[in-house]
Structures are given as C-alpha cells and as structure tokens.
Amino acid sequence: MVPSILFEIMLIGLLGIGSQWLAWRYRMPAIVIMSITGLLVGPIFGLMNPEEDFGNLYNPIISVAVAIILFEGALNLSFKELRGLGKPVFRISTVGAFLAWILGSLTAHYIAGLSWAVAFVIGGLFIVTGPTVIMPLLRQSKLKPRPAKILKWEGIIVDPIGALLAVFAFEIIAFLTANNPDGTALMMFFAASIFAAILGWAFGRGIGWMFETGHIPEFLKSPAVFIVVILCFTIADEIMHETGLLSVTAMGVTLANMGISSVADMRHFKENITILLISAIFIMLTASLQIETLLQMFSPNILGYVLLMMFIVRPLSIFISTIGTGLSLNEKVLVGWIAPRGIVALTVSSYFASILTEAGYEDANILTTLTFGLVFFTVCAHGFSVGWLSKKLHLSMEGRPGTLIVGSNRFTAELAKSLMKAKSPVIIVDSSWERLQHARKTGIPFYHGEMLSEQTEYHLDTIPYEYLIAATEYHSYNALVCTTFMPEYGRTNVFKVSPFHQLRNNNVEDIVDKVAGRILFKQEVSVDDLCSRLSSGYVFRQTVLTEKYKYKQYLEDREDTTVLLYFIKPSGQIKYYSEEMRNTPEKGDTIVSLTSQSKEFKKIQNKLDNQRNNGNNNGNGNGKGNGNRQ
C-alpha cells in the first residue's frame, strides 16, 4: 500500500498522465492503457484502493469530476454543427436510446439472469457512452466529420438521459411494488428533471450575461465557470440524485450557443482540466475494484450479456433508429459498432447496486461486475478496432500528415505542389479570390474564406491537416492565426513565414516575432524573398540522403542561397525546417529545398559529362575488343 494519501494523489495523477502519454507515443487507445494501469496498481498488485483510502470523499470527488467532464463536452455542442446531422442525432438520441433500453433490459433478464426490476434499471443506464470514452477515441481515430459529430453528440446528450432512465425505471419499480402505491415520488422525479434542465439553462444564461456585460474580469472567468458548474450540479443532485448531470449538460449547451467569445477562450482550459480528470478518475475507479470482481467478469452469463450488447443490441438499435435519416451503410456500421461505456456507467451503477440491494433485490450485487465487464470489453474492443474499421469503411482521414496553408501567393502555391507530389494532403486558405488564382491555376485544393471566421470553423474540415503555416504578407495577421490555432495543432506544428524586408526594423514586428508560431525556414527569409526567388528562376529540388551521401556532405555541397524547406521521412512524416528545429535528417530522408537554377544546371551538366565520359570509355573498350578479335 502507498505510504500516505498525499502520495496516492500524486501517484494517481502521475499514472493517469503517464498513461495518456504512452497512448499518444505508441498510438494506442488511452482509455485502454488507463484501465490496465488502474487494474495493475489496484486489485492485481494491491498498491492502492482509492475507494477505501478516500473514504466518504471518494463518491463526491467522482461525481464532481463527472459533472465537469460532461459540462466541458456540452460546451462543444453548438447547434451549427447539426447542419445536415440534426435528424440522425435526434433519432439516435431518442428512438435509438429507447430501443437500446428495451433490448438491453431483455438481454439483462434472459442472459445475465437479472430480475425484471434490476434489468430495466441497468438497461437504462447502459445506453450511455459519454465524452470520457468517446472523445479519446475520436481524437485517436481521426474520423471524417460526419460520423465523428454524430458519435460526439450522442455521447454527450445520451449520458444524462441514461442516468435519468435508470432513475425513472427505479421510481416506476418502487411505485409498482409498493403495498400502497403513491405517485408522489414519480411526480417528484419528473418535476426534479424539469427543474434541473431549467436550472442549467438559467445558470448558463446568467454566467453568459455576466461575461458579456463585463461583470466578471478576464482572470476570474475560468474559475467562476468552474465553481458555477459545481454549484449547478450540486443543487440539482441534492434535490434528486443523477439530475445534476442533466443540469450541467443544459448549462454547457446554453453557453455554447450564446456566441460569447470568452467561452472559446475558456474551452482550452476546460479541455486540459478534463484530460486530467478523465485520467485520474479512470485510475481511481479501476484501482478500487476487487480481484473477485475481475474473476466474476469472465463467467458465462456476463460474457454472453456483454457480447450480445456489443454485437446485437447496439447495431440493431442504430440501424432501426436511423432508417430514412440519410446515413450511408458504412456510417451505420461504424456508429452501430462504436459504443464504449465509461465513467458515468461505473459511478451510477455502484449507486444503484447499493439502493437496489437495500430494497431487497439480491441479484443487484453483480451490477458492479456486470458494469465493469461491459466497460472493459467495450473500451478494449472499440479502442483497438475504431482505427482499423474506419479505414476499411473509408470513414477515416488517416494518412500522411497534411498541411493547411493560410495565404495564397506564388511561393505557397509551389510549396503546395511539392507537398502534393509527396502525396501529403494540403489546402490553401485565403479570403481573396484574386490571390487564390495561384492555387486555382495549378489545381491545388483551396478554401475561399476568412480563416479566423466562425463560418470557416464549420465549413472547413481541418482533420486531415496536422501542420498550419501562416504565410500572408501581414505578419501581425500571421501571428494572430498562429495564436488562435496553436492549442488545436500544438506549438511545434504551427509556423509563420517572416514578413517583408522593410518591416524588419519595425519594433512592433520584432515583438510580433515572439508571439505564437515558430518562424518557418529562416528569420532572414521573408514571403517576399521566397516569391522573388521563384521569379528569378529558383526551383524546388529533392535530395535523398544515402549511406554514402550523408546530411553533413549535403550541407557542404549546397549553395549559400539555398533555402531548406522540409524533409520527408520514409514513413511519409514531414518535418519543416525552422531555426528552432531539433531534428536532423537521416539516411533515407528526402530533403526538399528551394535552389537556384544554376545549381540545377551544374547538376545536369555533371550528369551529362559523366554519361559522355562513360560513353567514350565504353567506345574505346569496344574498339579495342573488336580490334583484338580481328
């Protein structure tokens, strides 16, 4: 066991973030790594048991974390995303959820052997997927926008619905099995649910109004929202258990659709907090399991239940509910397969296991085992298969890392052409139709619009592009673009090209150099320089490094005016040159540079000379041979 609670808290955080890093480093599902890590330090090696160690604080910590995670997910649910997706999302969240409840309850009764009462409670709960498991999978698999948005909306909307269905089923059971049935409790449930939704809407509108009117200073906005989320959740949950999830979801959706710029600024902070919470909660939940629970998980009735839920109940509910919604067969197959259960299912099932057992339903004691079995198997199966299946169904954007270039000019058009030759996705974005002629003439993919506008966010699919290059003639705009998209692309994947020569001595531009994105290529090479060099005959040149021709020799051979642009790894990965670049090209890498034409002429001339010399040598050899034979 760990020596202290402080050490245990540190270990939970370290293991959670370490699992996330391992998953990122080796391209594995993060939730699988976290689950296995929690099992290793908990029931297998017995290093910790957070549920026992934290005592009465364990459940409140889990509940608050789930509320914050669900709110952050709802904060991404803008109704503008539903263009063309409203019908399938609505049908899956209503008809699909109802079918999954009924079918899941029947399966729980006939296969898992649960009583009707317990089966209908757990059947309602198991319709949930949730942002804790869906978001990491979407981040890993790089699905096309349409199926990705459907899975995201379903996960966040159905999370509170599943918890409420379980509560509703329990209230119905309590009503029907009572000696003197009284509908007061049932009416209280409906009233509490309506109140929770209205409370979330009111808190969302209230905090949004305070942001817009300046009643909350910038430095307090994120902490204020953080506390208000907990307040909103607690008030609703104290009135009726599990309605707090509905309340924070309503609050998040309300804020997301108010069009407040501050919300977008806070979203990155919320995402960071959510990743930390998801990591910690998964470690805590799995580490708190008993070894008996793990062994019981492999019993025939539980395995049979899990398999039917994965291969029959989920696909059937999706296929029936999406009839006439316009989804393709491939999309239905993918959405019908991907339904991992997560934190909400684990936390709520433990609550119902206790109250159902107290109510006299002895079969409720296997709920924790049943829930973890469904969570673990779905997380592993869907986590490892989502990438493979999405590729097979042609619903994945996976491929060589792409580049999104902001600013159309002669250089960016030629750069895009070279990337296309390397079979790397590329697109040029510019608000000027006239400037886009450089891209249009050469058949380069382009988007006509303002990169920083809200419309572009909903119309331009940025999933295929891992790098962003801001290469307009306005350095301040380049810096603004880089600052805006740095949280999305990462600090090492955002670049800006230097401005015009005449701006270099301007103090403002010197300051801008230090803001956001790394300077692409070299500090002294501006957009104007690059375009001028192309006009004077410079060409894009590829050089492959070999065992005999190494990078050091290449640097010695190149002309001083050569601009090193990027190099391509044998795997297809692209590394752009920057003064802050730490990577060095190796054997097998292909270096792409902007080189003067004289260098190319010399190269061609040397090749011709070598061929001519070889031809003369061969001719002399043949003549001697013929003479000898004569």
Pairing of strands 518-519, 494-496: parallel
Q: How many CB atoms lie within 10 A of CB 75?
A: 27
Top pLDDT among 18 and 1 is at 18
Q: Residue 621 has what pLDDT?
A: 47
Top pLDDT among 358 and 426 is at 426
Q: Tell me: pLDDT of 500 over 60.
A: no
Of these ranges, 11-20, 450-459, 474-483, the one predicted with the greatest mean pLDDT is: 11-20
Q: Residue 201 has what pLDDT?
A: 93
For 41, the 3-state DSSP assignment is helix
Q: Tell me: pLDDT of 263 over 70.
A: no
What's the Rg (C-alpha) of the chain? 30
Q: Residue 11 has what pLDDT?
A: 92
Q: With a threshold of 0.85, does the pTM exceed it?
A: no
pLDDT digits (tens, 9 = 90+) for 2-59: 788 899 999 999 998 998 888 877 777 777 788 889 889 988 888 888 888 888 888 8
Res. 613 pLDDT band, cuts 50 70 90? low
Residue 595: beta bridge partners?
A: 539
Output the CA–CA distances (angstroms, integers) from residue 475 to 222, 291, 349, 512, 531, in the order listed. 30, 60, 55, 7, 16
CA-CA distance, 561 to 97, in Å (whole number)?
Answer: 64
Pairing of strands 590-595, 539-544: antiparallel
Say what percent of the chain tops pLDDT 90: 10
- DSSP H helices in 178-299: 184-212, 218-239, 243-256, 261-287, 291-296
| Cα dihedral 434, 438, 441, 442 in deg (nearest 10) | -160
Q: Tell me: pLDDT of 628 over 70.
A: no
Section 78-104 average pLDDT:
81
pLDDT digits (tens, 9 = 90+) for 519-542: 887 777 778 788 888 888 888 888
Residue 428: beta bridge partners?
A: 405, 446
Pairing of strands 494-496, 426-430: unpaired
Three-state DSSP string of 56-96: HHHHHHHHHHHHHHHHHHHCCCCHHHHCCCHHHHHHHHHHH
Output the CA–CA distances (angstroms, integers) from residue 120 to 92, 166, 329, 375, 620, in the order listed. 19, 7, 30, 18, 94
Of these ranges, 66-75, 125-134, 225-234, the one predicted with the greatest mean pLDDT is: 225-234
Section 180-184 average pLDDT:
69
Q: Is 443 left (phi over 0), alpha (psi -120 to 50) or beta?
A: left
Res. 355 pLDDT band, cuts 50 70 90? confident
Task: Give the lowest-confidence range in 222-236, 415-429, 460-474, 589-603.
Answer: 589-603
Q: In what order do the strands lie in the sheet with 574-576?
A: 539-544, 590-595, 563-568, 574-576
Q: Which two tokens stand for residue 388?
A: 């493979």
Task: Give the lowest-confidence range in 67-76, 212-221, 620-629.
Answer: 620-629
State the fold for domain 5-392.
Answer: Na+/H+ antiporter like fold (1.20.1530)
Beta-carbon contacts of residue 410 (< 8 Å; ≥ 6 apart): 438, 531, 534, 535
CA-CA distance, 142 to 387, in Å (whole number)?
Answer: 8
Q: Residue 525 has what pLDDT?
A: 78
CA-CA distance, 205 to 228, in Å (whole number)?
Answer: 12
Q: Where are the domains of the chain?
A: 5-392, 402-612
pLDDT digits (tens, 9 = 90+) for 272-301: 787 788 888 888 888 888 888 788 888 898
Res. 625 pLDDT band, cuts 50 70 90? very low
Q: Residue 514 has what pLDDT?
A: 52
First to last CA, the chain: 95
Q: Tell me: pLDDT of 447 over 50.
A: yes
Q: Residue 312 has what pLDDT?
A: 92
Give Dmax over CA atoms of the chain in angstroms. Answer: 124
Q: Residue 581 has what pLDDT?
A: 67
Task: Give the lowest-confidence range in 104-118, 426-440, 562-576, 579-593.
Answer: 579-593
Mean residue pLDDT of the chain comes to: 80
Q: Tell me: pLDDT of 162 over 80.
A: no
Beta-carbon contacts of residue 94 (< 8 Å; ≥ 6 apart): 321
Q: Residue 74 has what pLDDT?
A: 77
Burial class from Cβ neighbours inside 10 Å (0-12, 13-18, 19+) for residue 6 reads exposed
Among 472, 475, 478, 480, CA closest to 504: 475
The domain 402-612 is placed in CATH, from the list 3.40.50.620, 3.40.50.300, 1.10.3720.10, 3.40.50.720, at 3.40.50.720
Q: Residue 265 has what pLDDT?
A: 61
Residue 494: beta bridge partners?
A: 468
Q: Residue 598 has what pLDDT?
A: 65
pLDDT digits (tens, 9 = 90+) for 365-384: 888 888 888 888 888 888 88
